[in-house]
């Protein structure tokens, strides 16, 4: 018999937990941020479906792909073995590399919200470790614990995180560009096609190769903090 080359499928309960974690309905507030997108629209860098799709595909590769997903890939196994020192190191790096006050507040707020969601679920001593992180647990660190509790392998956790990010960003674009729902779905299809390769690359990044360096996005995020008219949190 020829061996099946496909990786084993996640258990149904694990798969459902990951779908839950990726849902925009998860009460962590991801829908309320645009991560510089709104400023890019205001600056005329994003004007239509094509430019929105190009922007978000580039952002996927350069921001979650090299930073948050790479942290998540290392945080899931760290939570599996309950290694508080490693978790704290990853959280410190995440906080130190948020390039604007807006981006730092976002990961802190979403991390705290995920912490509260986890507290309302099952008793787990690792939640106390998450709560002890200072100044706050970053969202990828908190998401990694939720994925570890579900028994999800790192790859599947990264896929869920990336798709959740993509769906939130597309919804932000639909409201702010603005775009129609059909255009939003086409952009989401582009992102979904790019996510697997982005995840595979993130899984290879160790501490020395993980990075956070997007100067233009940082400038736009900083501008968003004082933008005259805005839909999303700053």
> What is the C-alpha to C-alpha distance for residues 192 and 134, in angstroms, rounded to an integer?
33
Lowest mean pLDDT among 66-80, 127-141, 181-195, 213-227: 213-227
Lowest mean pLDDT among 100-109, 186-195, 196-205: 100-109
> What is the C-alpha to C-alpha distance for residues 13 and 92, in angstroms, rounded to an integer?
32
Domain edges within the chain: 36-224
Listing DSSP states for 178-206 in one string gives T--HHHHHHHHHHHHHHHHHHHHHHHT--
Listing DSSP states for 117-130 in one string gives HHHTS---HHHHHH
pLDDT, mean of residues 50-58: 98
Cβ atoms of residues 140 and 66 within 8 Å:
no
Q: CA end-to-end span of the chain, whole Å?
A: 57
This model's pTM is above 0.85 = yes
> What is the C-alpha to C-alpha distance for residues 121 and 114, in angstroms, rounded to an integer?
11
> What is the C-alpha to C-alpha distance for residues 64 and 204, in angstroms, rounded to an integer?
14
* CATH assignment of 36-224, among 3.40.47.10, 1.10.4190.10, 1.20.1250.20, 3.30.530.20: 1.10.4190.10
């Amino acid at each position: 018999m020829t061996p099946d080359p496909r990786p084993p499928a996640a258990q149904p309960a694990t798969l459902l937990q990951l779908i839950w974690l990726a849902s925009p309905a998860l009460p962590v507030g991801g829908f309320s941020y645009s991560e510089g997108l709104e400023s890019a629209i205001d600056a005329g860098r994003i004007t239509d479906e094509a430019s929105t799709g190009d922007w978000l595909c580039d952002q996927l590769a350069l921001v979650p792909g090299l930073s948050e997903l790479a942290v998540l890939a290392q945080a899931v196994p760290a939570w599996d073995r309950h290694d508080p020192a490693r978790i704290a190191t990853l959280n410190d790096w995440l906080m130190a590399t948020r390039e604007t006050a807006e981006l730092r507040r976002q990961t802190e707020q979403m991390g705290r919200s995920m912490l509260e969601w986890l507290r309302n679920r099952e008793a787990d001593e690792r939640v106390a470790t998450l709560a002890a992180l200072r100044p706050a647990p970053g969202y990828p660190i908190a998401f990694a614990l939720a994925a570890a509790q579900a028994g999800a392998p790192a790859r599947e956790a990264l896929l869920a995180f990336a798709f959740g990010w993509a769906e939130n960003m597309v919804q932000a674009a639909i409201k702010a560009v603005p775009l129609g729902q059909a255009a939003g779905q086409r952009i989401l299809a582009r992102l979904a096609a790019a996510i697997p390769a982005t995840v595979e690359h993130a899984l290879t990044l160790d501490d020395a190769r993980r990075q956070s360096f997007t100067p233009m996005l940082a400038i736009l995020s900083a501008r968003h903090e004082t933008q005259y008219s805005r839909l999303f949190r700053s």
